[in-house]
Structure 1
Amino acid sequence: MPKIAIIILNWNQPQLTISTIESFLKIKHQNFSCQIVVVDNGSTDNSILKIKKFIHSLEIGNWKLEIIQNKENLGYSGGNNLGIKYALKNNFDYVLVANNDIRVNPNFLQILINEIKINPKQILAPKIYFEKGYEFHKNRYKSSELGKVIWAMGGKIDWGNVYGSNIAIDNVDHGQFDNNLQTPDFISGCCLLAPANLFKTIGLFDEKYYLYLEDIDLSVRASKSGYTLKIIPNSIIWHINSGTAIAASNIQDYFITRNRLLFAYKYAPLKTKLAIFRESIKHLLFGRPWQKIGVRDYYLSKFGQGSWV
């Protein structure tokens, strides 16, 4: 029977994490076993106590739950890597990386597992909706459409500018994308299922990124190693969106500016690298404060958490 490790990263958001765990405990599954691995990323509140108290109060049947506690915040990449290392050490067959701000359809994981058994050399993702009321532009939709607005069906990379964007974002789902699926360039780290062998083959998330673009980097490495990226549209989850990442622009200015440079110089064509270099000089001279710091840190090879505190 295949074993699935479900990795959920928590940082100072115990209630969100608990809600996500509750959602996973309702999933229906046959012919595979699951273990939820909560990685606490150096929380400074009472997250661990609350999550442990919640777990101890559960009637969880055949489910197993593990908590890994970091002493410091290792970012999205480093935190999830601890969970992945746990899965590899304990001989799990598949790894599901999941945000702590999602709600899942009870059959979503069974559908993904059925698909990955057909071809294990894949990274799969469900169709991801905005959670009802958390849409970017909720005023443009009818009330009956809320909760059916697409957040992502994979993503595309604009190689000319080195930006990633979610496929079908902000569209109300009427099934119009299901039969004409675009092949994604990347799978969002919001929720992805991969065989454990993937990480043995290409390595883990690159911890230089810390936050933002590490999922795109992983997807590119996987594709280069012969893995298929695929969206399974009848597997569905909902994303609260910005539950984990701080919405303030400073953190995005810093990490996206720095990490775009890191990603571009690793993978982009020469013409794009030259354009990104020119843009970085403009940011250094005229950009917002955290953009300037991001550019500086890239050229000083100051990665990971870098100057962000």
Structure 2
Amino acid sequence: MLAWHAEPYLRDCVRAVLDSTGLALQVILVDNDCRPEDLAKVPDDPRVTILRPGRNTGFAGGCNLGVAALDTEFVALVNSDCVVAPDALALLVAEAERPGVGPVMAGVRLAEPPHLINSAGNPVHLVGLSWAGEMGTAEKRTEPFDVTGASGACLLVKRAIWNRLGGFDEEYFAYLEDTELSLRSWRTGLSVRCVPSAEAFHHYEFSRNGLKMHLLERNRLMLLSTVWPARGLMLLAPMLLACEMLLFAYAIASGWGGGKLRGYVWLWRHRDHLKTRRRHLQAERTVPDAVWMARLTPALDPTAIGPAPLTRVANVAFRAYWSAARRLLGRF
């Protein structure tokens, strides 16, 4: 669990994890420059260790740091504003123990109202966009099911799998690192699952600001450039170029065009990392591209992306293009 700046729910979230039933656990809390008054409220429990790196290591770096301090068979990431039900982690362990299963996520509910979904798995679009799936709908499923992307708000995985994948790429800093981990799992023959009965209640607040949009867009392009295969990038090139132009225009109109430009600059300056990362990720794939890319969606969610009329029109084009591109992808 990570703590950054104001953490009004931190005490409740740590307490909920400590009250988990059906397993023995340790809690590693990474202080990414949290308010001292919030850290002071953390339960005094011998199972809790606070790490103080002295800087904000980001979500990716903080998770890697925390996991490295654990010596458990399974590792779980739980947001500092996410309150887990008593049996949630044990249910996730039971699913993660199954052969061929990689990361598993809780059924993440909104804290208010708690019967509605915050994320039941994160869809991943052909152009690298991702969002909280089924937000605001009621969960009717009871059995675990496959998802393309597992939300890092409450995620559990075998330690051996985490180590094999190398955890998160810390260059992401924040956003889409859980998407990369999920896609890498699918590409190496592991399924990614959601356990709806393992409930985690998230004090979720949606926001768009310049820094967040900069990181989302920068990381989306990093995801595309390292995970997508060359043949996929070639087939999707016209769609990717058109989307990039539209997103750049949207960024300017929304006041964060400078952040979009800084993303391009960052990617250029870190091109050696991207090249190295791409070589590693392409070499580790064991599943044919046509198979794992079938998990990507050509449809944007109007409620998550918006505006709805434009999104629906775009989806018609996305679906038609992908229908043709998928057939070609399997022929290479």
Deviations 1:182-241 (A, max 9, x none): 521110111101000012211110111111111001111122222211111211111111
- Aligned counterpart in structure 1 of residue 36 of structure 2, from 40, 46, 50: 46
Task: Name the TM-score, length of structure 2 as normaliser.
Answer: 0.72
Instruction: Report the CA distance between 1:13 and its aligned residue.
Output: 2.7
Gaps of 5+ in 1: 1-7, 133-145, 305-309
Q: Give the Å deviation of 1:298.
A: 1.8
CA contact under 8 A between 1:202 and 1:225: conserved in structure 2? no
SS of residue in 2 equivalent to 1:164: coil
Q: How high is the TM-score relative to the length of structure 1?
A: 0.77
Higher percent of residues as helix: 2
Q: What residue number does 2:264 align with?
A: 295
Counterpart of 1:151 (choices 113, 118, 124) is 118
Distance of aligned partners of 1:279 and 1:53 in 2 relative to their CA distance in 1, 3 Å threshold: closer
Which of 117, 131, 135 is the equivalent residue of 1:169? 135
> Among 78, 82, 87, which residue is 1:98 paired with?
78
Q: Bigger CA drift: 281-290 or 76-85?
A: 281-290
Alignment of 1:18 with 2:11, yes or no, is yes
Give the Cα–Cα distance (whole angstroms) in 1 for the partners of residues 145 and 101 of structure 2.
18
Match of 2:283 in 1: none
- Matched letter for residue 165 of structure 2: I
Runs of 4 or more consecutive aligned structure 1 residues displaced over 6 Å after TM superposition: none
RMSD (Å) for aligned C-alpha atoms: 2.5
**Closer/same/farther in 2, CA of residues 194 and 182 from structure 1, 3 Å limit:** closer
Counterparts of 1:160-309 in structure 2, within 5 Å, are 161-173=127-139, 175=140, 177-178=141-142, 183-242=146-205, 247-268=207-228, 269-270=232-233, 271-273=235-237, 275-277=239-241, 279-280=243-244, 287=252, 288-301=257-270
Inter-partner Cα distance in structure 2 for 1:272 and 1:258: 19
Tell me which amino acid in the other structure corresponds to 2:33: G
Is the Cα contact below 8 Å between 1:129 and 1:152 reproduced in 2?
yes
Residue in 2 that maps onto 1:142: none
Percent sequence identity over aligned pairs: 20
Higher relative contact order (CA 8 A, sep 6+): 1
1:277: Cα distance to partner?
4.6
- 1:27: how far off? 2.1
Identify the structure with the greater strand proportion.
Answer: 1
Q: 2:64 aligns with which of 81, 90, 96?
A: 81
